[in-house]
Structure 1
Amino acid sequence: MSDASLNPTATDRWMLPEGIEEVLPPGAWQLESLRRRLLDVYQRWGYQLIVPPLAEFLDSLLTGVGHDLDLKTFKLTDQLSGKMMGIRADMTPQAARIDARQPGNGIRRYCYIGSTLLTRPKGVNGSRAPVQVGCELFGSDALAADAEVVCLMLHSLEACGVPATHLELGHMGVYRALLARTGISEAETVALFEALKRRSIPDVDHLSASLPENERELIRALPRLSGGLDVIGKARALLDHADLTAALDALEQVAQCVQKDFPDVDIHIDLGELRGYTYHTGLTFSAYRSGMGSALAHGGRYDGVGASFGRPRPATGFSLDLRALLPLIQAQATPPLAVLAPAEGGEALEAAIRELRRTRPVIRRMPGDALEDYSDSCDAMLTCKDGVWRPEPFSNRS
């Protein structure tokens, strides 16, 4: 062990783990403003707010969500029960558990906002502590439910001031139906899935070489079925099976619904998009913004997720990382600055401060401080003229 590890410097003690960040002013206020704005939107759409716990027992937290989430989850031992617990890496399974415990089979709409923790970041320079925002609609397998969730996702980005310019739609039912017709082994299925996910056409061609000719050509066509809405017509010419046609119908109808509310959003169809294969069962969707390589928000249908809790229910939803949107917001908006008030000034000053705080922030000076200390946070100063306190431009502001 090195001397440095035995005697860490003060700077070392202040360092945060890689991928773990704190949000400082004014970003923290902007983050809170986005949170409030989104909750107002979800309330107007009829979504009920839930606040799941940060940690749960593993057998509940990871039930039915597959191996991927297991690897992303920090684990610890509960000192009271001795059982293994996990810190949530995704709040969607928690929403599914909450829905499964409610009586009745009616439609339920939930929204949530909270911190999550990942063992590894999602991408290069990504955060391991996303602030996850999401909406889930349980109890309906109708296309109208998918369309509602997609439109609400796009409205969420608009409310944050970063409207999407591109929407990518896919459908896991296409690949699942093709796979069911091949009869290949589990190992072959995994290898083919990984090749398709990487869009490695040579590997896809190699792994599908032993399949029957019709299925082989359909599997090989998937990575190439990507583009505008005309891709749906091209796919219909190739895929004539009933399950495949139903999936294409769903894509077409949801795209039409989105176009009515968001005519300026470019819709991209990608039948080779297999994100969340072990989780999603139907329509998948991601929202993008020009100039950005990663999705701002994404979601999809995941029917039957409550089966592990004894209640399989149709479900669809979306989520986004509010922290990831913050740099885009900070680049566009300047937070409101405060009015600086003197440390003392009598009852007239106190009344002026109370009245002014109804509409904007007011910071009171402390005895002995310097005006320069407030040059970045204030743009006006309360000044008394003819016995009346009024805000005047802050002359010391740089």
Structure 2
Amino acid sequence: MTTSNWLLPEHLSDILPAEARRIEELRRKLLDLYRTFGFEMVAPPLIEYTDSLLAAKGLDLQLRTCKLVDQLSGRTMGLRADMTPQVTRIDAHLLNREGVTRLCYCGSVIHARPSGLLSDRELLQIGAEIYGHAGFEADLQIIQLALDSLEMAGVQKPRIDLNHPNVSRVLVDSVPSLSERAGEIFSLLNDKDVPSLKELLEGCQDVPQDIANALILLPSLYGSVNVLDEAQESLPDLPGISQALQSLRELVGALDNACVGIDLADVRGYDYHSGVSFAIFAPGWHDAIVRGGRYDNVGKVFGRARPATGFSLDLRKVSAGLSPAQPSRAIKAPWGLDVDLVERIRELRNQGHVVVQIFPNSTQSVDEFIFESELVYSEGDWILESIQ
């Protein structure tokens, strides 16, 4: 046996007791929160055929999905990298309901490659989706639920950045030579790489100057909600852009402006989002901790186009950005089969206390618990005594 047997692959990590407990407690609290909003939980499989798993999203999801061959059928299967397409499949194909459906979920997802230098390849993804309502009310409820999730987790001072992909999509789609290089353009916009964007635009044919100027301006349209006024004045007066900006104004009017910003160059998921998209940031995290938005008609590939909006977050990432998880209080008790001792321990556990029995001729080594009291036998009864 070599000393390297315990090493894990890059960007994968173990979670130790106190942190694992906090993540599990967060999972339970958030799923209970979603239930109070009327969301029903679903649990799709960790692995399924790529024909289904990759049907509803673009190239980015394909690159992040680990693939293998099913030994039973010989078909290619994928280890899910995102649960949203699976939940969309459930809504469109299995439930097939009329009207509004609210679904939530939580499970592990695996990325074939990390999304960043500090990112893990295994995520514990939790999220909520609303199907069947095209109005801004669904978008607003999803954003409010995402904010409530972070508040419950203890995240301080969250900031929402809103965007509407149609602002940039209308500009790109208006010129055939730009449409052919849409992926490159959106990548440069997302990185706010203006010099490279200018160079790309100069290499494209028949690009009107107002379209080129608008695309170059987008990375600077970032900041407070006043950016919407600047965008209205500076961008070409095209129907799709005006409608997108109006959708953003509608949401801004219903949210607390103090924590809302605009970023018209945040075009992640441009080939996926159909309406308002958002990212939530907070001090202590290097990247967005929640992402979400509208993705209407993605369910069409499963046989049923539906309005849809939702969000997801990685519980491991959220927990890692909080202050270190603290040990919980516990009661130390001796090992024994005495009826009164057994009954007293059962009573304490039923009250919600952690009771750890110490085996004979052994010591107890724990990081998860702090022993503040112990069960001792005194004057014919088992009583609690404080441990100094």
Structure 1 residue aligned with 2:207? 211
User: What is residue 232 of structure 2 aligned with on the other side?
Assistant: 236
Q: How does 1:377-396 map to 2 (within 5 A)?
A: 377=369, 378-395=371-388
Could you say if the C-alpha distance between residues 311 and 99 of structure 1 is closer, same or farther in structure 2, counting changes exceeding 3 Å? same
| Alpha-carbon distance change, 252 to 185 in structure 1, aligned in 2, over 3 angstroms | closer
Counterpart of 2:286 in structure 1 is: 293
1:33 corresponds to = 25
Q: Which residue pairs with 2:251 in the alignment?
A: 254
1:59 is paired with a residue of what secondary structure? Answer: helix
What CA deviation, in whole Å up to 9, does each residue of 1:205-244 have, x standing for no partner? 2333441122222222211111101101111112332221
The 2-side partners of 1:375 and 1:20 are apart by: 22
Q: Match of 1:366?
A: 359
CA shift digits 1:63-85 (9 cap, x unpaired): 02111111111111111111111
1:196 and 2:192 are equivalent in the alignment: no
Q: Provide the rounded CA distance (Å) in 1 between the counterparts of 2:290 and 2:337.
A: 51
Report the TM-score, using the length of structure 2 for normalisation.
0.93
Matched, 1:175 2:168: yes
Instruction: Provide the C-alpha distance between the structure 1 equivalents of 2:337 and 2:322, rounded to a whole number of angstroms.
Output: 38
Deviation at 1:118, TM superposition (A): 0.8
Q: Please, which runs of 5 or more residues in structure 2 have no aligned partner?
A: none
1:194 is displaced (CA, Å) by: 2.6
CA contact (8 A) 2:17 2:367 kept: no
Q: 4+ residue stretches of structure 1 with deviation over 6 A?
A: none
Structure 1 counterpart of 2:297, one-letter code: G
1:225–1:272 contact (8 Å) kept in structure 2? yes
Cα distance in 2 for residues equivalent to 1:137 and 1:345: 53
Change (3 A) 1:391 1:77: same
1:274 matched residue in structure 2 = 267
Secondary structure of 2:5's aligned partner: helix
In 2 relative to 1, CA 207–266 (structure 1 residues): closer, same or farther, beyond 3 Å? Answer: same
Could you tell me which amino acid in structure 2 is paired with residue 335 of structure 1? P
SS at match of 1:317: strand
Matched to 2:225, the amino acid is L
Say if 1:199 and 1:328 are closer, same or farther in 2 by CA, change over 3 A: closer
Distance 1:336 1:376 in 2: 6
1:376 Cα deviation (Å)? 6.5
Contact kept? 1:340, 1:362, Cα under 8 Å: yes
Q: CA deviation at 1:183?
A: 3.0
Q: Does 1:224 pair with 2:196?
A: no
- Contact residue 208 and residue 219 of structure 1 kept, 8 A: no
User: Is 2:57 aligned against 1:65?
Assistant: yes
SS in 2 for 1:36: helix
Q: Distance in 2 between matches of 1:186 and 1:237?
A: 24
In structure 2, the residue corresponding to 1:194 is in which secondary structure? helix
Counterpart amino acid of residue 352 in structure 1: R
**Residue 82 of structure 2 corresponds to which residue in structure 1?**
90
In the aligned structure 2, how far is the partner of 1:346 from the partner of 1:147? 58
Out of 23, 28, 37, the residue aligned to residue 15 of structure 2 is 23
What amino acid is the match of 2:230? K
Range with greater deviation from structure 2 (372-381 or 86-95): 372-381
Deviates more, 1:344-353 or 1:58-67: 344-353
Deviation, 1:94, is 0.3
Question: 2:285 touches 2:321 (CA, 8 Å); kept in 1?
Answer: no
Q: Distance in 2 between matches of 1:84 and 1:327?
A: 34
Aligned to 1:245: 242
Q: 1: CA distance between counterparts of 2:107 and 2:271? A: 24
Once residues 113 and 284 of structure 2 are traced to their aligned partners in structure 1, the CA distance between those partners, rounded to angstroms, is 25
- TM-score with structure 1 setting the length: 0.91
Unaligned runs of 5+ in 1: 1-7
Q: Give the deviation of 1:25 after TM superposition.
A: 0.8
Conserved? CA contact 2:372–2:387, under 8 Å: yes
SS of 1:337's equivalent in the other structure is: strand
Q: 1:283 aligns with which of 276, 279, 287?
A: 276
Distance 2:289 2:281 in 1: 6
User: 1:1-46 CA distances to partner (integer Å, 9 max, x unpaired)?
Assistant: xxxxxxx50x322222112222221222111111100011000011
- Establish whether residue 166 from structure 1 lines up as the match of residue 159 from structure 2: yes
Corresponding position of 1:76 = 68
Deviations 1:269-318 (A, max 9, x none): 01111111111111111111124321111111111111111211111111
Corresponding residue number in structure 2 for 1:3:
none
Aligned residue for 1:313, secondary structure, equals coil
